[in-house]
Amino acid sequence: MIPFSPPRMDKKIADAVVEALYSGWITTGPRTKQFEKMLTAYGGQKVTFCVSSGSAGLELMLRWFGIGKGDEVIVPAYTYCATANVVVHCGATVVFVDVGKDFDIAVDAIEKAITPHTKVIIPVDIAGFPCDYDAIHALVQRVDIREQFRPATREQELMGRILVLSDAAHSIGGWYNGKRTGSLTDLTVYSFHAVKNLTTAEGGAVCINLPLPFDNDAIYKELYIKSLHGQTKDALAKTQIGNWRYDIVEPGYKYNMTDIQAAMGMAELERYDSDMLVRRKAIFDRYAEAFFSYSWAQLPLYETSTRVSSYHVFLLRINGITEEQRDEIIRGIFIREVAVNVHFVPLPMMTYYKDAGYRMPDYPVSYDNYSREITLPVYYDLTDEMVDEVVRAVVGAVEEVVR
């Protein structure tokens, strides 16, 4: 059986983790700080703040922006549940919009969904391919849209417009107009979950790029307190003489990253461009080349003159099939001992969101993408021979169903 997404694991990572364990710092400490600096240098953002997961990062930033009841947050219908669930946690309203044929959030759909209650847009770089951020920024900066923005907190007032909080759970290392994801929007959140391109087992990071008059370094300090129960001193500061007393300035969260996670992350980031992305691109190219000649295959866009993917997962679509036929093809692929997936079942189809009143016919492109989509494995240890085996399994299964 070819598995779907085993993490890359080797002695370099194991050694880094063991070193962290014996260092005595197993919670947030010097390694986390160092990893943050490395991430800042890598993505080109102003400041990076590491957290316990991508979900925690998204929620922390919504809370920081003061999102709550009565606020609307625009989210693509085609994403993982984390993107929308965090909005629900804050008590705000999720406003789903449709995506385009390249899986990214449709900017014309965003425009139609904006109301005076809209506070945040969360674009998602599905499969690692960056969204059209120039178009999204042009929209939030348009005078008529700025004029209807109704700030309710100090942060919202300073922003003076809709916040762009990108979900880059898939796209660390992707490019848009010569800039990396991480430096493209006001706030960008990475996930380092076990199946993601760069993993710390569980983990995430917030890339902070807020415009003036925000002080990004001051916000880092604020987030540090907010992610540690609102406590004014961390374990490191409290080791200093006379520094034991601390205060709680807000009922904060427990969203900090550990140095064990950071040790893994640094080992991965050091070789991410030179090794991980090189292998992932080679797998994408091999799939693209193999499926190119089949008229039933619709290949995903992953490199253009302005956008380059981080090659997270390969979203193959089969032309002219129904959802039932897609499911049958997936069964055929599994019978051939290859694990595949579907990224993603659109959220309005999920029980919670369906019961909340969202209707799938409102998101026709999301449904079309989903109904014909099969996600092929992409990971470091997937060899060329395994890629060829995946291709054979897909071709065999498709040709059984589509004649």
Ligand X SMILES: *Cc1c(COP(=O)(O)O)cnc(C)c1O
Report the interface residues with ligand X, using CB under 6 A: 53-55, 79-80, 82-83, 124, 167, 169-170, 191, 193, 204
Phi, psi of 48, deg, nearest 5: -125, 140
- Strand pairing partners for 316? 374
Q: Are 394 and 326 in contact (CB under 8 A)?
A: no
Least distance from ligand X to the Cβ atom of residue 239, Å? 30
Q: Are 308 and 175 in contact (CB under 8 A)?
A: yes
Q: Distance between CA 229 and CA 237 in Å, rounded?
A: 15
Least distance from ligand X to the Cβ atom of residue 373, Å? 15
DSSP at 360: G
Q: Distance between CA 174 and CA 367 in Å, rounded?
A: 26
Q: Are 272 and 171 in contact (CB under 8 A)?
A: no
Which pairing describes strands 179-180 and 118-121: parallel, antiparallel, or unpaired?
unpaired
Q: Are 84 and 62 in contact (CB under 8 A)?
A: no
Give whichever of 316 and 401 is closer to ligand X, judged by the CB atom: 316
Residue nearest to ligand X (CB): 54
- Strand pairing partners for 315? 375
Least distance from ligand X to the Cβ atom of residue 82, Å? 4
Least distance from ligand X to the Cβ atom of residue 102, Å? 15
Q: Are 401 and 332 in contact (CB under 8 A)?
A: yes
Give whichever of 259 and 391 is closer to ligand X, judged by the CB atom: 259
Least distance from ligand X to the Cβ atom of residue 35, Å? 15
Q: Are 264 and 10 in contact (CB under 8 A)?
A: no
Least distance from ligand X to the Cβ atom of residue 294, Å? 28
Q: How far is CA 366 from the centre of its chain?
A: 18
Q: How far is CA 386 from CA 3, 4, 66, 330, 381, in A?
A: 10, 11, 48, 17, 9
Give whichever of 51 and 398 is closer to ligand X, judged by the CB atom: 51
Give whichever of 193 and 226 is closer to ligand X, judged by the CB atom: 193
Least distance from ligand X to the Cβ atom of residue 192, Å? 7
Give whichever of 291 and 353 is closer to ligand X, judged by the CB atom: 353
Give whichever of 83 and 156 is closer to ligand X, judged by the CB atom: 83
Give whichever of 119 and 193 is closer to ligand X, judged by the CB atom: 193
Q: Are 256 and 262 in contact (CB under 8 A)?
A: no
Q: Distance between CA 43 and CA 39 in Å, rounded?
A: 6
Give whichever of 55 and 369 is closer to ligand X, judged by the CB atom: 55
Least distance from ligand X to the Cβ atom of residue 62, Å? 13
